[in-house]
Amino acid sequence: MIDSLRHFFWEDSQARRLAYAITAFLGILHATTRTLVFHRPERQVAIELFVLVLVLNPGVVALSYLVNLLKARRKLFVIHAYIKSPRFTLNQPIGPLIIIIFLLLIYKLSHFISAHIHITFLVMGLTLVVSLFAIFLSFRKDTASSRTYRLSQKERYGGLVACLILLSAPRLSISKVQAAIVNQRLERAASSIEPDKAAGLPSNQLKSAYQKIASIANTSIEYKIPANSDLVEKVKNNLEVTLKAANPGREDVRRWGAAAFIALVAYARFNNVLIAVNAPTVLLPHDQDQTGNYMLSQVPLKNGAVWWQGSTEGSAIFAILDPSLGAVFPISHSSVVFNAVNFNAFGMRRAFVETDDESQVVIMNATIEGATQKLDAIVWLNIKFKNSQIIYSGGPLYLGDVTFENCQFQFGSDTESQKVLIQIKEMGNQPVTLVSGL
């Protein structure tokens, strides 16, 4: 057995190349299937890949040793009786590799064959292609003899370095790389809109800077990429000062500045949910067994962080018809994100969300109908209010592409509330983007 280990890991680079190629193929196939089809966490898949690499290569050595041992005793199963061509010998690692492929295939698919039959056939087909290719290689004349190769010292140490990199790869996840890129882009964005620099920029350059910031924030929210919270706050503060000081003279530039600021506020709150330890995600599925519609009485959210996620087909929450219950989601001391979760109160004067000054709430990509909703202190992104009573009393206001259709407005008599009301009414049924105080 020791000779087999030395032969595989030190001399026979041809067998090792084939084993590594099949390991890479199975690893990519396994990781893609587990993450995209079965939605397993990235850390779990990384551990599974690590185990796969550790098991597969020693498995090749063990099976090669077993086959050679059995052949030496003239017990090569039924294959030896039928295959007598000198061009096909199980001295090569081809035979054990084919066996390993099918053993791994049977093991991995035994858990999923009943529920995911179409995925099973796809994986079986791909693996069969690889196996047939391996058999084809084994019949080639140029692979008939058991050739050995002596690796140079440079190749040996290079392989050692490659192994160390592979062993440390699970510590470097895709999300960490994405976060590093976002942090770098945010650093540049913070520099581009420093008040002293922005004061002398022409309108076109200001608009371009605002658009880049909005793009960074919206893309990071869409793909759930975390960032350094201090850096996000720095960009937000720089942008707020710039928006108050700069006077671009063009309405579209001011609108892009407001959109960028709202996106940053939303991303800052969203980032708090992302980096919260064990922040749960509440999924509202829409499939054959579930319509995606849920009747709720009241769900208090206190002292935590949570993400409520609707389906792409449409998920809605219907409020129990009892106005005395108040808001369906009373939120206190929490960071909460609602994405693609529609709401309908059927005109019974119930609110979707009610929050305090200590909470950070983002509601995006939804239609809110028949509700009595207060706008203060909540970030609203891509929202459509229909047949609702809208309340605003001069607090922090963040409206990004918000539409009001057939709504009644109950605004305070203070200057800020009346200014916002005028802007909303001027837009009619068009989307409104504005920030209070800017």
| Predicted local distance difference test score (pLDDT) of residue 308 | 94
Contact 87, 141 (CB under 8 A): yes
Enumerate residues 6+ apart whose C-beta is below 8 A from 188: none
| Predicted local distance difference test score (pLDDT) of residue 205 | 87
| Predicted local distance difference test score (pLDDT) of residue 401 | 95
Torsion of CA 77, 79, 80, 83, to 10 degrees: 180
337 and 205 in one domain?
no
234 and 101 in one domain?
no
Going 289 to 295 to 300 to 301, the CA torsion angle's sign is positive
| Predicted local distance difference test score (pLDDT) of residue 327 | 95
Domain boundary among 275, 298, 326: 275
Span 216-241, pLDDT tens digits: 999 888 888 888 989 999 999 989 88
Strands 432-435 and 398-405: antiparallel
Span 178-212, pLDDT tens digits: 788 888 889 988 888 888 887 778 888 888 899 99
| Predicted local distance difference test score (pLDDT) of residue 135 | 45
150 and 13 in one domain?
yes
Distances from the Cα of 358 to the Cα of 17, 40, 74, 335, angstroms? 58, 34, 78, 9
0.85 surpassed by pTM: no
Domain boundary among 136, 152, 171: 171
257 and 307 in one domain?
no
| Predicted local distance difference test score (pLDDT) of residue 221 | 87
Of residues 316, 365, 374, 366, the one with CA closest to residue 345:
316
Of residues 60, 76, 67, 51, the one with CA closest to residue 21:
60
Burial of residue 79, with CB atoms counted within 10 A of its CB: 0-12 exposed, 13-18 middle, 19 or more buried = exposed
| Predicted local distance difference test score (pLDDT) of residue 37 | 59
| Predicted local distance difference test score (pLDDT) of residue 159 | 66
Domain range for residue 126?
Answer: 2-171
413 and 401 in one domain?
yes
Of residues 312, 35, 313, 294, the one with CA closest to residue 174:
35
Phi and psi dihedrals of 369, rounded to 5?
-130, 140
Phi/psi region, residue 381 (left: phi>0; alpha: psi -120 to 50; beta: rest), is beta
| Predicted local distance difference test score (pLDDT) of residue 69 | 63
159 and 16 in one domain?
yes
In the chain, which residues have pLDDT < 50?
1, 75-96, 106-107, 109-121, 123-124, 127-128, 130-132, 134-148
32 and 166 in one domain?
yes
How many angstroms separate the CA atoms of 364 and 416, rounded? 24
166 and 178 in one domain?
no
| Predicted local distance difference test score (pLDDT) of residue 85 | 45
150 and 41 in one domain?
yes
Contact 253, 210 (CB under 8 A): yes
| Predicted local distance difference test score (pLDDT) of residue 150 | 56
| Predicted local distance difference test score (pLDDT) of residue 362 | 95
179 and 166 in one domain?
no
Domain boundary among 275, 298, 320: 275
Span 146-180, pLDDT tens digits: 444 555 666 666 767 766 665 555 555 566 777 88
Type of residue numbered 60:
V
Of residues 293, 382, 419, 403, the one with CA closest to residue 346:
293
| Number of domains present in the structure of the chain | 3
247 and 144 in one domain?
no
131 and 8 in one domain?
yes
Alpha carbons within 13 angstroms on the beta-carbon side of residue 195 total 10
Cα-Cα end-to-end distance for the chain: 75
Contact 420, 434 (CB under 8 A): yes
